[in-house]
Structure 1
Amino acid sequence: MTRPIKPDAKPARPWFSSGPTAKRPGWSADGLPTDLLGRGIRAPEVVARFAEGLALTSEVLEVPEDWALVYVPGSDTGAVEAALWNLLGARPVQVMAFENFGKVWATDARDHLNLQPEILDATWGRFPDVSRVDPAADLVFPWNGTTSGVRAPGGDWISTDREGLVICDATSAAFAMALPWDRLDVVTFSFQKALGGEAGLGMAALSPRAIERLDQFVPPRPVPKVLRLRNDTGFDRALATGSMINTFSVMTLEDWIDALVWAKAEGGLGALIARTEANAAALDEWVARTDWVDWLAEDPATRSTTSVCLKIIHPRVAAMDDEARRDLVTRMKALLEDEGAAFDIEGHRNAPAGLRIWCGCTVDVEDVRALTPWLDWAFAVAMAE
Structure 2
Amino acid sequence: MTTLAKPATRPLRSEFSSGPCAKRPGWSPENLKDAVLGRSHRSKLGKGRLQAAIQATRELLQVPDTHLIGIVPGSDTGAVEMAMWSMLGPRPVQLLAFESFGKDWVTDVVKQLKLPAEPLEAPYGELPDLTKVRKDADLVFTWNGTTSGVRVPNADFIAADREGIVICDATSAAFAQALDWAKLDVVTFSWQKALGGEGAHGVLILGPRAVERLESYTPAWPMPKLFRMTKGGKVTLDLFEGATINTPSMLCVEDALDSMGWAASIGGLPEMRRRADANLGALAAWVDKTAWVEFLAADPATRSNTSVCLKVVDPRVTGLSADAQADFAKKLAAVLEKEGAALDVGGYRDAPPGLRIWCGATVETADIVALTPWLDWAFASLAQDQFQAA
After TM superposition, the score normalised by the length of structure 1 is 0.98
Q: Distance in 2 between matches of 1:2 and 1:313?
A: 20
C-alpha displacement at 1:35, in angstroms? Answer: 5.1
Show the counterpart of 2:119.
119
Q: Which moved more, 1:217-226 or 1:255-264?
A: 217-226
Show the counterpart of 1:30.
30
Q: Which amino acid aligns with 1:368?
A: I
Is the CA contact (8 Å cut-off) linking 2:85 and 2:227 kept in structure 1?
Answer: yes
Deviations 1:204-257 (A, max 9, x none): 110011011111111111111112222222211111100001001000000000
Show the counterpart of 1:230.
230
Q: Distance in 2 between matches of 1:342 and 1:226?
A: 37
Give the match's secondary structure for 2:127: coil
Q: Distance in 1 between matches of 2:234 and 2:92?
A: 21
- Structure 2 regions of 5+ residues with no counterpart? 386-390
Q: Distance in 2 between matches of 1:314 and 1:233?
A: 59
C-alpha displacement at 1:101, in angstroms? Answer: 0.4
Q: Which amino acid aligns with 2:252?
A: T
5 Å matches for 1:176-191? 176-191=176-191
Is the CA contact (8 Å cut-off) linking 2:198 and 2:256 kept in structure 1?
Answer: yes
Q: Which amino acid aligns with 2:16?
A: F
Show the counterpart of 2:388.
none
Is the CA contact (8 Å cut-off) linking 1:72 and 1:227 kept in structure 2?
Answer: no
Q: Distance in 1 between matches of 2:353 and 2:337?
A: 18
C-alpha displacement at 1:68, in angstroms? Answer: 0.2
Q: Which moved more, 1:40-49 or 1:353-362?
A: 40-49
Is the CA contact (8 Å cut-off) linking 1:24 and 1:195 kept in structure 2?
Answer: yes
Is the CA contact (8 Å cut-off) linking 1:13 and 1:367 kept in structure 2?
Answer: yes
Q: Distance in 2 between matches of 1:250 and 1:313?
A: 46
**Aligned residues with identical type, % of pairs:** 53
- Structure 1 regions of 5+ residues with no counterpart? none
Deviations 1:29-80 (A, max 9, x none): 1111345201112112111110110000110001011100011111000010
Q: Distance in 2 between matches of 1:35 and 1:157?
A: 43
- Does structure 1 residue 243 correspond to structure 2 residue 243? yes
Q: Distance in 1 between matches of 2:331 and 2:154?
A: 36
Show the counterpart of 1:210.
210
Show the counterpart of 1:346.
346
5 Å matches for 1:251-266? 251-266=251-266
Tell me the number of residue pairs that the alignment of Structure 1 and Structure 2 aligns: 385
- Does structure 1 residue 94 correspond to structure 2 residue 94? yes
5 Å matches for 1:21-100? 21-34=21-34, 36-100=36-100
Show the counterpart of 2:332.
332
Change (3 A) 1:294 1:245: same
Q: Distance in 1 between matches of 2:223 and 2:52?
A: 28
Cα-Cα RMSD:
0.9
Deviations 1:113-150 (A, max 9, x none): 11011000011111010111000100000000000000
Q: Which amino acid aligns with 2:296?
A: L
Q: Which amino acid aligns with 1:263?
A: A
Show the counterpart of 1:373.
373
Q: Distance in 1 between matches of 2:289 and 2:50?
A: 47
After TM superposition, the score normalised by the length of structure 2 is 0.97
Show the counterpart of 1:284.
284
